[in-house]
């Protein structure tokens, strides 16, 4: 009899039905089946996930995880592999943008280092898999919790209280559960905003991703799967992540569509022909943030609730999926040994497993943004020399590709190696 639930199975409640939270729920339920009760709570579960048109770069390690969970096959045909990566460094007014660094997009054999997938498609696939596995999906929020010795009582917005062995806060960068737990948050703003949109263009991108380093911040062009049209043709598409100084963003987004398209063309270039906005551009402020601890008593932080980084390397979601893989493995192994999944020593293992990786990625992305988001001539000369040297060193280029694919560092969780729990 579990003290957390009053039944034979311990219960884990996940507050947040985003990609990281759903991946954790699915991994736990597939590994432990009837031995665990997994509940995901999020008001967004009421909505049709296909309405989310954002796009994400799924690194090779995360794709292996999704394959091991039986989800990748549901989105593979809609996923665009990144086959090539080009990096430039220039001013906006420069007539020519010299290429300083190129990467072939494969890590092992024919395995691309990343795929582009829309959030809606991946969320829908994860929801379907979670339902099939027996995850309890609740379209309501978590408003608080109270630790009662061997359990935590999780209060839902609808009034129900769920006793649980462990509460996982996957409720975003402004996590109220993190705040309630008294976990500190180290953060600073970048004075930049990220503008995201899907762009239609005339010519095929051929799987090439481009990152233009501009003084106001990086401008990334990420290839998407072509969209079939009713007349038998296809519409070529890319996703953009346009980093801009925060003070410039309101005027850009409030300008008329023709003027905004001109500003887009100045950054995007015309190598893919005529451009058009397929989705309305949206902006969000950029910042760095990391929790002082990823755990508290019977609480674990997941994804953006634990860390927020600059999108310069496209690793935010992949870090969250890595969190899910690590926590799922630690909890599964503990429960198979008869341990309490919310015990302090189990959660300490999670803290140790993620702290170094997250700190390192935060330092790298923060440093890259500071290095490239400026127009100081000596700095430009040094960084361009560095990019050129890397481009001439195949071994170092392979390391960076494997880093982008999530395949370097300490021993990864089994799911990230494509192995089941």
Question: pLDDT tens, 30-48?
Answer: 999 999 999 999 999 999 9
- Residues 265-302: tens digit of each pLDDT: 999 998 999 999 999 999 999 999 999 999 999 999 99
Mean pLDDT in residue range 143-167: 97
Cβ(16)–Cβ(305) below 8 Å: yes
What is the band of 366 on the pLDDT scale with cuts at 50, 70, 90?
confident
The pLDDT value given to residue 87: 84
User: What percent of the chain lies above the pLDDT cut of 70?
Assistant: 86
Higher-pLDDT residue of 20, 218: 20
Indicate whether 112 pLDDT > 80: yes
The pLDDT value given to residue 409: 62
Indicate whether 125 pLDDT > 60: yes
Nearest-angstrom CA–CA distance, 392 and 387: 9
SS3 242: strand
List the single range of 16-25, 50-59, 227-236, 268-277 with lowest mean pLDDT: 227-236
The pLDDT value given to residue 140: 97
Mean pLDDT in residue range 98-114: 71
Indicate whether 394 pLDDT > 90: no
End-to-end CA distance of the chain: 24
Indicate whether 67 pLDDT > 60: yes
Kindly give, in sequence order, each residue whose CB lies less than 8 Å from that of residue 37, ignoring residues fewer than 6 positions away.
5, 7, 9, 10, 11, 12, 136
List the single range of 185-189, 263-267, 401-405 with lowest mean pLDDT: 401-405
Nearest-angstrom CA–CA distance, 143 and 179: 12
What would the DSSP string read from start to end of 167-193? EEE-S-TT-HHHHHTT--EEEEEEEEE
List the single range of 12-26, 139-153, 373-387 with lowest mean pLDDT: 373-387
The pLDDT value given to residue 233: 86
- Chain Cα centroid distance, residue 50: 17
Go through 307-340 and write b for each residue having 16 or more CB atoms within 10 A of its CB, e for each that does not.
Answer: bbbbbbbbbbbbbbbbbbbbbbbbbbebbeeeeb
List the single range of 95-104, 132-141, 363-372, 386-395 with lowest mean pLDDT: 386-395
What is the band of 396 on the pLDDT scale with cuts at 50, 70, 90?
very low
Dump strand ranges (E) for 270-375: 275-277, 282-291, 295-296, 299-301, 307-308
Indicate whether 362 pLDDT > 70: yes
The pLDDT value given to residue 109: 66
Mean pLDDT in residue range 243-272: 94
The pLDDT value given to residue 231: 83
Nearest-angstrom CA–CA distance, 339 and 414: 20
- Residues 198-244: tens digit of each pLDDT: 999 999 999 999 988 888 888 999 999 999 888 878 999 999 999 99
Indicate whether 143 pLDDT > 60: yes
What is the band of 411 on the pLDDT scale with cuts at 50, 70, 90?
confident
């Amino acid at each position: 009899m579990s003290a957390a639930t009053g039944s034979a199975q311990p219960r884990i409640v996940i507050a947040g039905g985003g990609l990281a939270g759903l991946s954790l729920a699915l991994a736990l339920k597939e590994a432990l089946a009837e031995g665990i009760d997994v509940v995901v709570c999020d008001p967004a579960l009421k909505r049709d996930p296909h309405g989310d048109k954002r796009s994400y770069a799924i690194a090779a390690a995360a794709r292996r995880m999704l394959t091991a969970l039986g989800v990748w096959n549901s989105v593979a045909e809609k996923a665009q592999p990144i086959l090539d990566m080009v990096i430039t460094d220039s001013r906006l007014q420069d007539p020519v943008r010299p290429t300083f660094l190129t990467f072939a997009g494969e890590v092992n054999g024919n395995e691309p280092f990343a795929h582009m997938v829309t959030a809606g498609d991946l969320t829908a696939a994860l929801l379907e898999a979670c339902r099939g596995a027996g995850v309890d999906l609740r379209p309501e929020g978590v408003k608080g919790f109270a630790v009662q010795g061997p359990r935590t009582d999780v209060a839902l917005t609808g009034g129900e209280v769920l006793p649980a062995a462990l509460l996982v806060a996957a409720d975003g960068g402004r996590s109220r559960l993190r705040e309630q737990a008294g976990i500190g948050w180290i953060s600073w703003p970048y004075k930049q905003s990220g503008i995201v949109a899907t762009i239609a263009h005339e010519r095929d991108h051929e799987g090439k991703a481009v990152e233009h380093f501009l003084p106001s911040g990086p401008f990334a062009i990420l290839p998407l799967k072509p969209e079939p049209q009713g007349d038998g043709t296809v519409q070529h598409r890319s996703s953009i992540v346009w980093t801009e100084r925060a003070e410039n963003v309101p005027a850009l987004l409030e300008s008329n569509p023709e003027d905004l398209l001109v500003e887009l063309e100045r950054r995007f270039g015309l190598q893919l022909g005529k451009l058009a906005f397929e989705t309305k551009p949206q902006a969000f402020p950029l910042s760095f943030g990391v929790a002082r601890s990823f755990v508290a008593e019977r609480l674990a932080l997941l994804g953006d609730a634990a860390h927020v980084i600059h999108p310069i390397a496209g690793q935010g979601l992949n870090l969250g999926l890595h969190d899910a893989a690590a926590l799922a493995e630690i909890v599964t192994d503990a429960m198979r040994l008869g341990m309490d999944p919310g015990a302090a020593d189990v959660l300490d293992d999670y803290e140790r497993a993620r702290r170094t990786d997250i700190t390192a990625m935060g330092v790298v992305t923060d440093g890259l943004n500071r290095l490239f988001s400026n127009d100081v001539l000596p700095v430009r000369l040094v960084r361009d020399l560095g990019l050129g040297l890397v481009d001439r060193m195949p071994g170092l280029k392979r390391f960076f590709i494997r880093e982008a694919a999530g395949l370097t560092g300490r021993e990864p969780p089994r799911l990230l190696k494509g192995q089941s729990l």
